[in-house]
Structures are given as C-alpha cells and as structure tokens.
Amino acid sequence: MDKLLIKGGRRLSGTLKVSGAKNSALPILAGALLTDKSVVIGNVPHLHDVTTMIELLGCLGANVVIDEKMRVEVSANDLRELRAPYELVKTMRASFLVMGPLLAKYGRADVSLPGGCAIGARPVDQHLKGFEALGAEINVVDGYVSATAEHGLKGAEFTFDLVTVTGTENVIMAACLADGITRIHNAACEPEVVDLVEFLNAMGARISGHGTPNVEITGVTALAGCVFDVMPDRVETGTYLIAAAATGGRVRLDGARPDTLQAVLDKLIESGAELSLGDDWIELDMGGKRPLAVDITTAPYPMFPTDMQAQYLAMNAIAKGTSRVTETIFENRFMHVQEINRLGANIELVGPSTAIVHGVDSLKAAPVMATDLRASFSLVVAALVAVGETLIDRIYHIDRGYETIEEKLLQLGADVQRVSG
C-alpha cells in the first residue's frame, strides 16, 4: 500500500496548473447516459474516482474511449445493463448519480446503496423523494434501490428537505427527459451543479435557474451529443493555496476560477495572505509570515465549503492565536484531529461539530494515517510544516481526489516521495 513521506520545513513556491473538478466530472460522466449520441468531455482529471465512474459506465454497456489528454468520449446508445453493482458503487457515493439518467431514459434502474468516505450517514433519501415526486416507484431490496417508471417520468413541483448537491444533480438529470415542467426548490447552488447544467443544456436540455435555490426544467424527448470541458477544481485550488499559506510560501495557480472560491479567499486574506487575482489565475504570497488563526464555519455554497474544512484546520494548528472550526454539513468529519494532534497540534473537540484549535509554534513529524479524502490532505498540510519526516499511510484516499499529488508538490519545492510497503 502506497504512503507519502514528507520532510517538512520548506516554503511552497512556484506555479501549478489546476486540474479539472472531480465533483463536476463525475455527474457529467453520469449525465452522458442520457443521450444516444456521442459525448466528448475534456479537462477530466486522472483520478481513481473518475476511473471508477468510467468502469461503471462500461459495466452498464456504454462505450468509453479515453485519449492521451484525458478527453473522454462516451457513447451510451446500446446499454445492455441497467443495474449498477455493489462492487463499484460501494467505493464511491457519486456512482449513485447514474440512477437519475437510467430512470429517465429507460424507465427503470437498479443501483446499489452507495459507499465512499466514512464521514457520516449521508443518506440518499432526498434523491428517492425527488424521483417519487416525478412519478417513479421506489423499492429497496437486498441493498439495492430499484426504481421504475413504466409510463415515463412526469414533471412535478419538488422541494428538498435539506440542501444536497448530489440529490439536486440526480433529480435534475431525471427531470431532463420527464414529460412537462419540473420545478425544484431548495436546490444546491454549488458551481459543480451549475457546470452539470451547462453540460446538459449543451446537449439540448431546457434548464434555467441553476446557481439559485429554484431550478426549472422543461422536459424534452431526447438529448443530443456535445463537446464540453469540465470546470477547474475549486477544492484543489483552495487546498494548494492553504498549503502554501501554511508554509509561508508563494504560489500561482493557473487555470483557476476565483469566482467560485470567494469564501476561502476571504479567509486566506484574514489569515494574512496577499492575493492577486485574474479571470483564470490566483497568486498567493505569505511573505514568509506565519498565518493568523481565523474562525471558520462550513455551510452550503457560497459559504465556506466543507471539503476545505480539514485543510484549513491544519493551517490553524500552526497559526498565531486560537480559532474555532465549526462543521455544519457532515457529522463525524473531525477524524483528522486525532492524527494532527499526533504531530504536536493542540486541538480539542467540544462536541461533534466544533473544534477549538490552539495554534502552536511548530509541529513535529510522526507517522499518521489518512481517514477520508479531504482529511488526507490536511495531514499533508501539517506534514509540510512539521519538523522531520512524516509518513502518511492509506493515501489511496488522496488519490481519489487529487491528481498527481507528489508531482505537484515537488513542482512547488516540497520534499515528498511516494513509497510502498
């Protein structure tokens, strides 16, 4: 099993190209099932989760071709299987996103209940309520969700009980081919949802209101093919900015989208970073300074994203002062705290959703273990500033969400290597 060995104490400095967004690529790949025509998707990141989704599409009978630039061509005109197996869905929650397209196009789908990161229950009940509102009949049998709509889906009015990104994406995709108009309320507003809708509209869908809590979908009888590039990954962008700030460094990220990251940029400025922005680039300079501690509270977009909570907490661990980190999206998302404390941090949990971070002058290397995707990179941030060599185990979590991590860190001057054993 691969591990990362990081010798801390170097300031990150240099320029990186931001990868395509994993959280956009996955629903877009699933959305390619909605059409019989060929779809070409560019700027797809080379990640384990993307490979899993491509494998799932192939398992369903889609023809998938990938070129040397990670442009993915999907032709789903002859699906032979409408069942998404447990073996694939258990490893990644986003696999459940094939249900909406299959149900809309074929009138039925059998998809295993999902797995993925162990950061709370994250049930799919909101997805299923949305499908039922569109006229689907839902049954859960032997760990599989079986959905049928013998006479097709019908447009409807539906309000989510809580904001859910994948639930919003799944129901929007299902509504694309429904008969009539669907109005979704309390929809997720994340940029990745907007990117998916732009992709669907490029195929001929009729969707408006995306990026707001109220989305309207006018169903069409069929969708066409298209060529579409996935948006830049705002989580990767924010993660490398945080890592650079923690080390007192200076980085420029090209191919970024500053407009999708305002809450994180505001916090970085509060932490003492100097930022310069362009339409598609961000430059951060800490001037060798130690960051200042700042409070963060996660919330749905456009507020501070839960997927960057762990990384910012790691930076706060070596910041000047004391900060409060509050998680409102997922329960059980502080599993990284114990591991960062192994490096000498002073973090205390005060209930299931709040951590008090007392900044310390320095951290000291120790062996640590990754627990989930984003928490894994919080250990990388901590290791980059720790004195000595830190060995991070179970980095397959990192490979699910960060493309060529050691290569990118080496580009920025980090002392890092991937080791086996």
Dump pLDDT digits (tens) for 167-178.
999 999 999 999
pLDDT digits 0-9 by tens, 168-208: 999 999 999 999 999 999 999 999 999 999 999 999 999 99
Tokens 């062996």 sit on residue: 367
Furthest C-alpha separation in the chain: 65
CA 182 from centre of chain: 26
Q: State yes or no: is 176 an active-site residue.
A: no
Q: How confident is the model at residue 44 (pLDDT cuts 50, 70, 90)?
A: very high
Burial class (CB in 10 A: 0-12, 13-18, 19+), 272: middle
Q: Judge whether 76 and 62 are in contact, CB under 8 Å.
A: yes
Using an 8 Å Cβ cutoff, are 104 and 173 in contact? yes
As a whole number of angstroms, the distance between CA 267 and CA 277 comes to: 15
Rounded average pLDDT over 146-165: 96
C-alpha–C-alpha distance, residues 400 and 413, integer Å? 23
CA-closest candidate to residue 416, choices 387, 383, 394: 383
Q: Which tops the pLDDT comparison, 235 or 421?
A: 235
CA distances from 155 to 74, 131, 166, 178 (A): 27, 10, 19, 6
Catalytic residue among 59, 117, 189, 226: 117
Average pLDDT, the chain: 95
How many other CB atoms are there within 10 angstroms of residue 23's CB atom?
24
In 3D, which of 173, 231, 167 has the Cα closest to residue 31? 173
Whether omega before 213 lies within 30 degrees of 0, making that bond cis, reads no
Q: How many residues does the chain have?
A: 421
Tokens linked to 61: 């009978």
The answer to whether the beta carbons of residues 345 and 382 sit under 8 Å apart is: yes
Helix (H, G, I), strand (E, B) or coil at 227: strand
